[in-house]
Structure 1
Amino acid sequence: MKKLFLGRQIRSLRENAALTQRDFAERLGLSTSYVNQLENNQRPVSAPVLLSLSEKFSLDISSLSVDDNDRLLAALQEVFADPVFAGSVPGLQDFKMVCQNAPDVAHGLVRLHQAYRQTSEQLATLDDTLARDESLARPTPYEEVRDFFHFENNYIHDLDVAAEALSQAIAPAGRVFARDLVAHLETRHGIAVQRRRSGEDAGQIRTYDKSARTLVLNEALPESTIVFQLAHQIALLEATDIMDAVLKDAKFQSDDAIHVARIGLANAFAGALVLPYGAFLRVARETRHDLDLIADRFGASLEQVAHRLSTLQRPRMKGIPFFFARVDRAGNITKRHSATKLQFARFGAACPLWNVHRAFETQGTIIRQLAETPDGSRYISLAAHVIKKSGGYSGPVLHYAIALGTEIAHARDLVYCDDLDLTRTAAFEPIGISCRICERLTCPQRSVPPLNRAITIDSNDRRLIPYTIR
């Protein structure tokens, strides 16, 4: 069993209570020196102390996990896998110590490396004059916002709670219909909602005319998208104060990033309005996370359900920790989040052995994969091909695949695992994160050598992989 070090959290509890270490220790029945050691992560937290912290200082035990820093730890390890750090890579314990004791420093290193990588890639194609432009050292707005949600665990508590309360007021029965949201917009905001067939721009989804107080939706869209877009508009009208506070605390580097983040926050509110936390979690458990049954219950799309399952991180009410990703035909990850140990690569495409790529070969079917990552962790991964249309025969059609998965320890709670032999080692396919950081040296699907390993090339010896990794 892993030892639990909570120095930063304990210090925050004490400081929020405006207590000295001595007073804090007395409240807990501990010595001052012991509290000092706990705050400096020199000693792990014992079960009795943990219970005492919960009883006397309202510490949420359910929100604590020895894996809370896994996302940051994985990102930091990937940073130091870069050849620029060759010969000076810290050990695992050092990484863990930085993530536990100085997470802001770790986040800073990740952002710094991201800026370094982006600048390096641009320098490869631009001349010296363009390379001196300071804007090149900043991450793109979408990258910055993606990382913000990633490190927030894809869950914004105040938004989620507010959306759930509104959902219960609008639709007490539990399912939110388009007519409910249309009536709310008309009654509360005086906004008329119209559905029209799009004209020349078949890609148009939603248009709000503030002066005319009209919201126009493309009637060719599926009903689940119509409902979500109505909920998104309500978020922009009613959750402004919450979103402004979140954006202020996030300290984004550009106005573009703020605009992108606001859309992301409105999407989060919309998802929580259409799929309210408590009701959604209850149905997910009752159906043993059957995606189709959950989608039918709430009138949602498969992607909406899968994405929502990955956000169930409310303190004291957490759902199963899932990873979620959306991948296009080129292998680019356009959405990603993981509440599990498996962390997606920040750069490059996803592992070609992952079943999400095979989903494009099937339609209307959820395919399953038992997978094992290089660290020995085992997962059940579900993948499906998704097609989105927004017009008639000549309208745009989007193709992508979604993946949802969790560690095999949760198999009993997933209907998809019922007929799988989870005891057979050979049933688990070896996958990695991405080729550039993967530790599997003999993978026949490897596209590039790992960054931190040397290679040998022998012109007289040709194998599936044209080099030997040392």
Structure 2
Amino acid sequence: MSGSVILALVDTFNFDLSELALDGAGKVSVDLQEILNDPIFTENKVLTQEIKIAATNAPNISKAFLDLYRMFQKSREQLGEVDNALKDHETSLAPLPYEEVRDYFHYTDNYIDALDRAAEAFALSLPRSDAGRHADMVDYLLKTHGVKVVMRKDKPGSSTLRAYDPTTKTIHLNAASSMATNLFQLAYQVGLIEQSDLIEQLLDDAAFHTDVARDVCRMTFANYFAGAVVLPYSEFAQAAKEQRHDLENLAFQFDASLEQVCHRLSNLQRPGEKGIPFYFVRIDQAGNITKRHSATTLQFTRFGGGCPLWNVHHAFQSPGEILRQLAVTPDGIQYLSLAFVQTKRVSGFKSPVRKYAIGLGCEIKHAGHVVYADDLDVTEVKNFDPIGTSCRICERIDCFHRSVPPIGKQIVVDHNKRGSVPFKIS
């Protein structure tokens, strides 16, 4: 169906394209809308409906346009820093390995069916004893693959979590790591050993630009397998429903960390067995997004900073607590947002400490299935904090917390009047 026909149907039947589920095309549409707000496109205003039609009817061209903008932005940043000389063309403009892998998972809904089912099959076949899953995994590796597991007490401050010696077929684990971390590392090693053919086939299908990106994704696929072993799909999805998505109870039940539980909740996207659509994000203390995925209509900024009103940025002020927030985005969609701090220290007072804020949320229409919404009044509009994606593309012109003007809007300066923001927007 052509774009003009779709637009005609929209006008005739007053149909809102935003009511469509945010699939791969929806994610591309959100990214296109963000970059088309750049001032360089001021003379060529593109309607939201046109963007959605392009993302749906011409996804490959749309993704190519996103790649082109990323290359342009990178070149613009280099020029802005007044570099003495541009680096090699291919090196400077090729996608960064982590960016390319992150985009791959972003556009596959962070769900890899073949790998997920293989992990689930392994988890169900693994003999279980009263000793616990960690001991069961150690026993399995020894009996099936002749791989020994040694718990090693490293020097204080060591950041090594796992070290595998293929010559002696020995896995060295850090004795100071949590049980959840070590179980995950063992499952990771199983993935590399038993699923190498599947992983290589998935890598071939992904067709990454560089060998480095391929290596990064091989690691990420093994991580995916490990997470799906620790939290097998159907068993975990059923438990999540029964526990009403109580993060701490689920972590205890599956010997997992809170971060692992949140990440798994966000990728329960198996066809015919989907869970509640959650977004998941991990942010460091500088505000950098280190992990992100959204099965909701909420998409995270890729080309700028986040919104300071979002509770994930407040989590560092309240360690040990799960913060709750009722939030509404400029498009009118309401969310239940959870946030907490995850601290990672290997061992000892002098060992390095990493702190992350974890954000997890869903649309308010699913709040009845989430225990954290039980005592919140979700019917009162004033209880919802107005948040946005980032200041540069946020449409809230009167926001007290605005840091920069929105792209594509006219700035008006009144020299005789000063408000909380030093300019007005028209």
The CA distance in 2 between the partners of 1:220 and 1:101, in whole Å, is 52
Does 2:332 correspond to 1:376? yes
Shift of 1:419: 0.8
- 2:256 alignment partner, SS class: coil
Partner of 1:236: 192
Shift of 1:128: 5.3
Structure 1, unpaired ranges of 5+: 1-6, 8-36, 45-63
Do 1:164 and 1:276's aligned partners in 2 also have CA atoms closer than 8 Å? yes
Does 2:400 correspond to 1:464? no
Q: Compared with structure 1, are the counterparts of its residues 445 and 257 closer, same or farther at alpha carbon in structure 2 (3 Å cutoff)?
A: same
1:45-194 to 2 correspondences below 5 Å? 66-68=21-23, 69-127=25-83, 129-131=85-87, 133-171=89-127, 177-194=133-150
- 1:385 alignment partner, SS class: strand
The CA distance in 2 between the partners of 1:205 and 1:379, in whole Å, is 36
Do 1:155 and 1:311's aligned partners in 2 also have CA atoms closer than 8 Å? yes
Partner of 2:240: 284
- 1:289 alignment partner, SS class: coil
Shift of 1:457: 2.7
Partner of 1:197: 153
Shift of 1:133: 3.4
Partner of 2:14: none
Deviations 1:255-301 (A, max 9, x none): 11111111111111100011000000000000111111111110111
Do 2:336 and 2:364's aligned partners in 1 also have CA atoms closer than 8 Å? yes
TM-score norm. by structure 2 comes to: 0.93
Shift of 1:252: 1.1
Q: Compared with structure 1, are the counterparts of its residues 350 and 233 closer, same or farther at alpha carbon in structure 2 (3 Å cutoff)?
A: same
Structure 2 residue aligned with 1:324, among 252, 277, 280?
A: 280
Shift of 1:454: 2.5
Do 1:176 and 1:274's aligned partners in 2 also have CA atoms closer than 8 Å? no
The CA distance in 2 between the partners of 1:432 and 1:345, in whole Å, is 10
1:206-217 to 2 correspondences below 5 Å? 206-217=162-173
Does 2:417 correspond to 1:444? no
Higher mean displacement: 184-193 or 294-303:
184-193
Q: Compared with structure 1, are the counterparts of its residues 435 and 111 closer, same or farther at alpha carbon in structure 2 (3 Å cutoff)?
A: same
The CA distance in 1 between the partners of 2:176 and 2:374, in whole Å, is 38
Do 2:245 and 2:369's aligned partners in 1 also have CA atoms closer than 8 Å? yes
Do 1:167 and 1:176's aligned partners in 2 also have CA atoms closer than 8 Å? no
The CA distance in 2 between the partners of 1:212 and 1:244, in whole Å, is 25
Shift of 1:168: 0.3
Shift of 1:132: 5.6
Amino acid at match of 1:434: S
Amino acid at match of 1:402: I
Q: Percent identity?
A: 47
Structure 2, unpaired ranges of 5+: 10-18
Amino acid at match of 2:385: E
Pairwise CA RMSD = 2.2
- How many residue pairs end up in the alignment? 415
Higher mean displacement: 87-96 or 452-461:
452-461
TM-score norm. by structure 1 comes to: 0.84
Amino acid at match of 2:264: R
Structure 1 residue aligned with 2:411, among 452, 455, 464?
A: 455
Partner of 1:412: 368
Deviations 1:178-198 (A, max 9, x none): 112111211121111111122
The CA distance in 2 between the partners of 1:369 and 1:338, in whole Å, is 17
The CA distance in 2 between the partners of 1:383 and 1:200, in whole Å, is 30
The CA distance in 2 between the partners of 1:295 and 1:457, in whole Å, is 52
Do 1:198 and 1:391's aligned partners in 2 also have CA atoms closer than 8 Å? no
After the TM superposition, list the runs of 4 or more consecutive aligned residues in structure 1 that deviate by more than 4 angstroms.
Answer: 40-44, 171-176
- 2:306 alignment partner, SS class: coil
- 2:311 alignment partner, SS class: coil
